[in-house]
C-alpha cells in the first residue's frame, strides 16, 4: 500500500460538480484522505462531502481559496499532498503514476503532470464561443496536476494569505529559490472543467493583481 496522500479540495457552493470530483479521486484505488474545506457554502456542498466520508473544515465566513488550502494543510495527515478543484475530474490511474514518480528519487519534491480543458456540458454554444480553450493537453500549475511532499511546506512555508489568486505561482517561485526539484511527466492527470463560474473568470482583477505582485517580488529578489 502507498503512503497516505491528502487530497485537499477548497470549495464554495460546489454541489453541482463535487460528486464527480470525489468519484474521480476515490476510483484511484490509493490510500487517500479527502479534506473538503467549505468556504461558507449555502448549498449542499457539506452534505455531499459528508456522504463521501470526507474530512470537513467549515468556514463561518468566506475566506477565499488560499486560506482554505492552508487550513487543509494544517490538518492533513498524509505524507503527500494534492490539491484538487471541486469541479475537475481526475483520470483513472493517475494518482498511482504521480506517486511512483515522486517516490522514485529522494530529491523530487513535486511531480507535475498535464491537464486537459473541457467544456462543461451545460455551456451554451454562445458561452463556448466566448471562452476558447486549448484543444491539446498542457502543463500548468493547476490543482489536480501536482503531487507534493508535505514536508515541502516545512521548507518554504504555507501559501501567502495576502493573495486571492496566483498562490501556486508564488509556490513555484519559492520552490525555485529553495532549489527544490519539480519533475514534469508527460501524462494528463486531470480534465479541467470550463464553466460559467470558474474562479478565474469571476475574479480576474484579483488574479491579475496578484500575478503582478508576485512578478514584482521575483524581480526585486534578483536585484
Length, in residues, of the chain: 223
Question: Which ranges of 81-183 does DSSP label H, i.e. alpha helix?
Answer: 94-102, 125-130, 152-156, 167-177
> How many domains does the chain fold into?
1
Confidence of residue 198 (pLDDT cuts 50, 70, 90): low
Residues 6 or more apart from 160 whose CB is under 8 A from it? 66, 167, 170
Strand ranges (DSSP E) for the chain? 5-11, 32-38, 55-58, 80-83, 89-90, 108-119, 138-139, 146-149, 181-194
Q: What is the CATH number of the domain that holds 131?
A: 3.90.550.10
pLDDT digits (tens, 9 = 90+) for 30-47: 999 999 999 999 999 999
Mean pLDDT of 39-57: 98
| Structural domain of 41 | 5-222
pLDDT digits (tens, 9 = 90+) for 67-123: 999 999 999 999 999 999 999 999 999 999 999 999 999 999 999 999 999 999 999
Query: With contact defined as beta carbons under 8 Å apart, do 148 and 73 qualify?
Result: no
* Integer Cα distance of 210 and 205 in angstroms: 9
Mean pLDDT of the chain: 89
For residue 144 the three cell numbers come to 489536480
pTM: 0.88
pLDDT digits (tens, 9 = 90+) for 67-78: 999 999 999 999
* Integer Cα distance of 61 and 33 in angstroms: 25
* Integer Cα distance of 88 and 47 in angstroms: 19
Residue 211's pLDDT is what? 39
Amino acid at each position: 500500500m502507498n503512503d497516505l496522500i491528502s487530497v485537499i479540495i477548497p470549495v464554495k457552493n460546489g454541489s453541482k460538480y463535487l460528486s464527480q470530483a470525489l468519484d474521480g479521486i476515490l476510483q484511484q484505488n490509493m490510500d487517500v484522505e479527502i479534506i473538503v474545506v467549505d468556504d461558507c457554502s449555502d448549498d449542499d456542498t457539506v452534505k455531499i462531502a459528508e456522504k463521501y466520508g470526507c474530512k470537513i473544515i467549515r468556514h463561518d465566513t468566506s475566506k477565499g481559496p488560499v486560506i482554505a488550502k492552508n487550513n487543509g494543510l494544517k490538518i492533513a495527515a498524509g505524507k503527500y499532498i494534492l490539491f484538487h478543484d471541486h469541479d475537475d475530474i481526475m483520470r483513472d490511474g493517475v494518482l498511482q503514476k504521480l506517486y511512483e514518480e515522486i517516490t522514485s528519487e529522494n530529491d523530487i519534491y513535486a511531480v507535475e503532470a498535464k491537464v486537459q480543458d473541457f467544456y462543461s456540458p451545460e455551456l451554451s454554444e454562445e458561452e463556448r464561443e466566448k471562452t476558447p480553450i486549448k484543444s491539446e493537453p498542457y502543463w500548468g500549475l493547476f490543482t489536480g496536476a501536482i503531487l507534493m511532499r508535505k514536508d515541502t511546506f516545512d521548507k518554504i512555508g504555507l501559501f501567502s494569505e495576502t493573495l486571492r489568486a496566483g498562490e501556486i505561482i508564488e509556490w513555484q517561485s519559492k520552490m525555485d529559490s529553495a532549489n527544490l526539484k519539480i519533475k514534469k511527466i508527460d501524462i494528463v492527470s486531470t480534465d479541467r472543467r470550463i464553466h460559467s463560474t470558474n474562479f478565474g473568470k469571476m475574479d480576474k482583477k484579483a488574479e491579475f493583481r496578484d500575478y503582478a505582485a508576485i512578478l514584482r517580488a521575483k524581480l526585486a529578489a534578483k536585484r
